[in-house]
Chain A
């Protein structure tokens, strides 16, 4: 039997790696992929806690997280395509249109 703390530690490691991708990389595509990694680490925690408490709500919230992630990726990639069409850049630092 795998202890609960192992699952949580895996979630921690994946979360930190995903946060590193969001904070350190300057490529918008890789930043979006790191966001997926963050949401997946949260899903692992949800399902592990739901399993340990014999409760389905962990799995249900993981389903909702996956649905919202799908919506987020669709919108984010649409914005990305529009952005590349207008400014032809993929660097986060070059996107300063909303700075006012």
Chain B
């Protein structure tokens, strides 16, 4: 049951990820990326991390993809649509990618520590209360640092995108 759902979500996410890279129109890439993020959030639910799944949908599908679509609409993409995309044009990068994929798959299959099944969850694995306690007690300083980084990014984005009125 779980395996069937996992295979379904994984297949769809891989297909949509390939669409992101192969589509010529950036709008199609953005929509495929949105579908891929939805599949990944479903996989998070399979991993018993419902909070992360909700965060994934809110942040990625709700915020980041809307930002992408707004920028695509602001920018004239017609020139980018017209140019041809040939994956074979860059041979060293392609070789590097094949090496990367083969190396990581060999490492995963070679090691026998990854083949074990999941342990049976004790009391429903992903308890959000415990997660919040860990996040706000043990990891308070990184949390505050993340908020400062977000504020700096907000100010920086506004300054960068502002029109110069001289």
A: residues with CB less than 8 A from B are 1-10, 12-21, 23-27, 29-30, 32-34, 36-37, 40, 43-44, 47-48, 50-52, 54, 56-57, 59-60, 62-64, 66-75, 77-82, 84-85, 88, 90-91
Contact = CB atoms under 8 A, between A and B. Distances in A.
A59 B68 contact: no
A75 B153 contact: yes
Give the size category of B's interface with A: 35 or more
Contacts, number: 231
A63 B160 CA distance: 26
B26 A64 contact: no
Given A4-B114, A37-B36, A25 B21 contact: yes
Contacts of B59: 66, 69-70
A96 to B, nearest CB: 18
A95 to B, nearest CB: 14
B33 A8 contact: no
19 contacts: A1-B2, A2-B6, A2-B46, A5-B109, A7-B43, A10-B13, A10-B14, A23-B96, A26-B83, A43-B52, A44-B43, A59-B131, A64-B142, A70-B150, A71-B149, A78-B161, A81-B74, A84-B74, A91-B80
